[in-house]
A and B are shown apart, each in its own frame.
Chain A
């Protein structure tokens, strides 16, 4: 442990020196070099008392960011639109070929769309996505609404060429005509990734925007160049969000913000009962022709309970009888949006300053809750002497060497967690290990499956 730290520290230090030299050379640097020179990453390095490099601690910073996101997300426990019909409109006009994003805007956009589609289906297994491209002044429907991420991604990667102008109106008109046909219980959404600084329209775009508004289509735009009034107006009118990305990580963040289901607006989608089928897995070794690819296949696959047609994967819609086919895990995957776990509370400094009030380890992962900087030294010592020494050290030493690190506490089960577990529990697990581990503190609202 100790060895590694020293070694890493030295390595980092050497690298820092080299970059420093580069920065002083002259201003005629290559673009990739400039990235390092601009960031001046070596300036954030810190030394500890023995002259070793301390690992850069942006953990608390990350955590603060995450808390902000969590608070806005769970501010009000409102109904979420779980069944979404989303069209992603991708601008492939001349502006998408610009090289300010590396290697080019459209490649970066395609990469983010791919990540987004995967994340979207992970979070919204009952929803559907379609792709539309804007190019040469017209809008093209690349893929119809569907639930299979692979087919969308394949279609998009095969069509990455930019030319001509973008027409926002044509795009909206096309999406409007496509989304008008979906059942009323679905939430209609459009996400536009717009590279151009202008729109080349055949008519009055404000009329189209009003049409989208009356059809209750929620339009959101993510710009890649600069803010445009027409995009802002569109988002304001239809209840979407408008953001302009400053760089690739920011773009990624903005795109992924659209993956969790948005709050449902009551009049946007009428509550309804949807008829769905739960197909059973066909027996192994049976040969049958699947209705989706029209190919004979051996084993695997599912059988539609209404028309007995064979389907390759779930969730889908039966090609023969039109029944929506899902499996119970798909429904279960959405339940965490409906029953979110409460955000954990920060432990106030008055409590955490006295280590005797706190358990020594995080309830989830058993990581020590002591200050990470002091932890390396403590673990290097034999375990038993550490425990004995804690109470016999003089006070000054005690507070420095054994300061509790930042931690959080679940308001329901009163267990303490480290910051990493906090993020994992709220972003991926959606269970509080503490609440789940004590029979009598189980949440009352738990539903039966």
Chain B
């Protein structure tokens, strides 16, 4: 074993946190276009190529399940090169069984969302541990291989994770396998400076992964990667869930409404009447030159 001090970590040593969506309802719905086993063999080939690119590269895989999330593989733990795949598949199988047993019969309604906020939070905790390990650490990044639709209840938690990633300069790359774009992951990649990609043809998944997501952060500057298409930063109102251009925000709890209300339905504050035309009068006042 080489002593730690002699390891020269540079820009091109990567720590790749891969979040795999294992939501059974999603994989059942795309059975005909991309089977889970095909997906896995593509991902395994991709992970192997990451580890071959640089012998100091590290890969950690977290499964994003329907009922739970867990670490299923860490390349720094594994003893031998040959058992890597077996080890990971065994852990994954255990995880899927456990995830299933946690489910409740009555909670199934359509292709539900998987727990993206949980696996993102775990990945960020792991990355903080790597940051703590000393000045020489690999460059971390997160790759979400996600297919399930966004869970509206996870909005705050996912946004919190995104801002925390942004603060620690960790890019979140996303590869969306489902039929629809994911607004969460679009925002995540845009805010953290990662790459967002929705492959056209899922058959060639490995090619997409290898060409877009395999390169380290330093080399990315020299590549033509997919550009962020228009990210929709408009908000939806709490009352009708419509996407709006202009709206009213409660000054106490920041709830969004599309029409003027007398009372906030979220926090119960009663709004003062004096300021109903707020956007015009005080602002004009503020523009007057100040005699200092």
Which A residues are closer than 8 A to B by beta carbons?
1, 3-4, 7, 79, 82-83, 122, 126, 139-141, 144-145, 174, 177-178, 181-186, 264, 269-281, 283, 305-306, 317, 322-324, 327-329, 331-336, 338-339, 362-367, 383, 420-421, 424-425, 428-433, 436-440, 442, 446-449
Query: Are A336 and B232 in contact, CB atoms less than 8 angstroms apart?
Result: no
B102: which of A278, A329, A438 is its contact (CB, 8 Å)?
A438
A434 smallest CB distance to B (angstroms): 8
A359 smallest CB distance to B (angstroms): 12
> Is B290 positioned at the interface, with any CB of A under 8 Å from its CB?
yes
Nearest B residue (CB) for A170: B292
Instruction: Please indicate the chain B residues that have their CB under 8 angstroms from the CB of A338 in the complex.
Output: 253-254
Query: Are B128 and A420 in contact, CB atoms less than 8 angstroms apart?
Result: yes
Of residues 69 to 122 in B, which have CB atoms within 8 Å of A's CB atoms? 69-71, 74, 77, 79, 102-104, 107, 115, 117-119, 121-122
B152 smallest CB distance to A (angstroms): 5
Nearest B residue (CB) for A144: B290
Query: Are B71 and A429 in contact, CB atoms less than 8 angstroms apart?
Result: no
Nearest B residue (CB) for A425: B125
> Is B45 positioned at the interface, with any CB of A under 8 Å from its CB?
no
> Is B55 positioned at the interface, with any CB of A under 8 Å from its CB?
no
Q: List 27 A-B contacts (CB under 8 A).
A: A7-B5, A181-B285, A181-B286, A270-B274, A271-B250, A271-B264, A273-B248, A275-B247, A275-B248, A280-B232, A280-B234, A283-B230, A322-B284, A323-B246, A329-B159, A333-B163, A338-B253, A363-B122, A365-B128, A421-B128, A429-B164, A431-B161, A433-B118, A433-B121, A437-B68, A437-B69, A447-B155
A122: which of B122, B167, B270 is its contact (CB, 8 Å)?
B167
> Is B208 positioned at the interface, with any CB of A under 8 Å from its CB?
no
Q: Given A184-B274, A272-B275, A439-B66, answer yes or no on A278-B244 (Cβ-Cβ < 8 Å).
A: yes
Of residues 236 to 253 in B, which have CB atoms within 8 Å of A's CB atoms? 236, 238, 244-253
| Contact string against A for B residues 123-137, beta-carbon threshold 8 Å, 1 for contact and 0 otherwise | 011101100100000
- Complex Cα distance, B14 from A37, in Å, reads 42
Query: Are B246 and A271 in contact, CB atoms less than 8 angstroms apart?
Result: no
- Complex Cα distance, B119 from A437, in Å, reads 7
- Complex Cα distance, B250 from A126, in Å, reads 12
Query: Are B250 and A429 in contact, CB atoms less than 8 angstroms apart?
Result: no
Instruction: Please indicate the chain B residues that have their CB under 8 angstroms from the CB of A335 in the complex.
Output: 156, 159-160, 254
- Complex Cα distance, B71 from A68, in Å, reads 32
Which B residues are closer than 8 A to A by beta carbons?
3-5, 66-71, 74, 77, 79, 102-104, 107, 115, 117-119, 121-122, 124-126, 128-129, 132, 152-157, 159-164, 167-168, 187, 191, 230-236, 238, 244-254, 256-257, 260-261, 264, 266-267, 269-272, 274-276, 278-280, 282-287, 290, 292
14 extra interface residue pairs, beta carbon distance < 8 Å, beyond A283-B230, A336-B156, A366-B74:
A4-B4, A145-B286, A270-B272, A272-B272, A273-B261, A306-B246, A335-B159, A420-B128, A429-B121, A429-B124, A432-B121, A436-B117, A437-B69, A447-B266
Query: Are B152 and A448 in contact, CB atoms less than 8 angstroms apart?
Result: yes
- Complex Cα distance, B187 from A430, in Å, reads 18
A1: which of B4, B160, B253, B286 is its contact (CB, 8 Å)?
B4
Query: Are B153 and A442 in contact, CB atoms less than 8 angstroms apart?
Result: yes
- Complex Cα distance, B256 from A280, in Å, reads 17
B118: which of A140, A366, A436, A440 is its contact (CB, 8 Å)?
A436
- Complex Cα distance, B287 from A181, in Å, reads 10
Nearest A residue (CB) for B125: A364
- Complex Cα distance, B147 from A46, in Å, reads 52
Q: Which of A279, A324, A332, A432 has the most chain B CB atoms closer than 10 A to its own CB?
A: A332
B234 smallest CB distance to A (angstroms): 4
B44 smallest CB distance to A (angstroms): 21
B246: which of A278, A437, A449 is its contact (CB, 8 Å)?
A278
Nearest A residue (CB) for B250: A273
A121 smallest CB distance to B (angstroms): 12
B152: which of A336, A362, A365, A449 is its contact (CB, 8 Å)?
A449
- Complex Cα distance, B132 from A434, in Å, reads 21
Q: Given A273-B251, A273-B271, A448-B152, answer yes or no on A182-B282 (Cβ-Cβ < 8 Å).
A: yes
Report the 5 A-B pairs with minimum CB-CB distance, sorted nearest first: A449-B155, A364-B125, A437-B118, A271-B269, A322-B283
Query: Are B254 and A449 in contact, CB atoms less than 8 angstroms apart?
Result: no
